Amino acid sequence: MKKRNRKNFEPKLKKIVPSSGNSFYVKRFHQMDKNAVPYWHFHPEIELVYINYGQGKRHIGNHISYYHDGDLLLIGSNVPHYGFAGRLTKNESEIIVQFLPDFMGSEFLSSIEMKEINLLMQKSVQGLSFFGATKRQVGIKLTQLLNLKGFDRFVKFLDILRTLALSKDVEILNAGGMFLEVYANEHDRMTLIYDYVANNFTEPIELEKIASVVSMTIPSFCRYFKKVTNKTFTQYVNEYRIVHAQKLLSELDVTIMEVSLSSGFNNISHFNKQFKLHTQKSPRDYRKELTKVIQ
């Protein structure tokens, strides 16, 4: 398996500069941009991402999953995540809004009128995914936002935040209450762990080996990983493999056995069991239902 360049995997501090006359950054990206390769990064700005079409993996904090009909995400300040648009995810386009938690001023944000929006920003550190009517409505509003400037753009963005703050169509991605933010010691270790899994998930990964990668004993490594991610290392590896399997099932016309082997499962029975545990569906049923949705 081709090794991934380590420099492309380390969480990188991304500097975001709003255009002149704006307190937040807004931009649309298209699939035609062949250089838009997703990478693992973080920034102090909160990020709102609208993907109007497409499918792929999403990795936010310690959460990893697969989306297949676009997405609307709110990602908190300094939470490591991958980019979503570009040739690797087959998205048609995405709109990104990035803003500092206090871009409106701390006093204004703490006012009673901003209570719901303030709470929304606090929840964003867990990673929020919006769906249904909210995704459709906010998608339209974000498209309108692109054509506005100055005060009109600011007011429209406040309207978008309020819509999100009041929405019930939301899933908390790191719902366990444990989420990976950027702390110097932790993110260096977790980068090494994620890097190793990303490059070796198709092969057996022994605890002894992964513990040695971060210079820890097996017991210390197991305790550390569970504390940071709220899951065991084996659970994480299986989760990573299943998400990869979901992507293969939706994008390639290959057999279930081929998907199992390509995702790091040498035993089809174990693969079926883990897949159903993660998705509540068998691989065959998952593919059938996804085909119906796409059609």
Report how far apart, in Å, the C-alpha atoms of 289 and of each of 66, 256, 282 are. 15, 15, 11
Q: What is the pLDDT of residues 202-234, one digit of tens each?
A: 999 999 999 999 999 999 999 999 888 888 999
Average pLDDT over residues 118-123: 94
Query: In the numeric block, which tokens belong to residue 105?
Result: 């001023």
Kind plus residue range of the DSSP H or E element containing 62: none
Fold identical between 6-172 and 184-294? no
Domain 6-172, classified CATH 2.60.120.10, yes or no: yes
48 pLDDT band (50/70/90 cuts)? very high
Top-confidence residue, 230 or 266: 266
> Across all residues in the chain, what is the average pLDDT?
84
The CATH architecture of the domain made up of 184-294 is Orthogonal Bundle (1.10)
Average pLDDT of the residues in 94-111: 89
CA dist., res. 257 & res. 238, Å (int) = 16
Q: What pTM was estimated for this model as a whole? A: 0.77
pLDDT of residue 119: 95
Task: Quickly list H helices, 114-206.
Answer: 115-123, 132-145, 150-166, 184-200
Is residue 15 within 8 A of residue 44, CB to CB? The reply is: no
pLDDT score at 31: 60
Ranges of each domain in the chain:
6-172, 184-294
Residue 84: pLDDT band by 50, 70, 90 thresholds?
low
Which CA distances in Å does 31 have to 34, 51, 65, 87, 96? 7, 11, 21, 6, 14
Residue whose tokens read 């400037």: 149
Q: In the chain, what are the helix, strand and coil shares in percent, each to the nearest 5?
A: 45, 15, 35
pLDDT tens digits for range 7-45: 444 455 555 555 545 688 998 877 655 555 556 678 889
Contacts for 155 with CB less than 8 Å, ≥ 6 apart: none
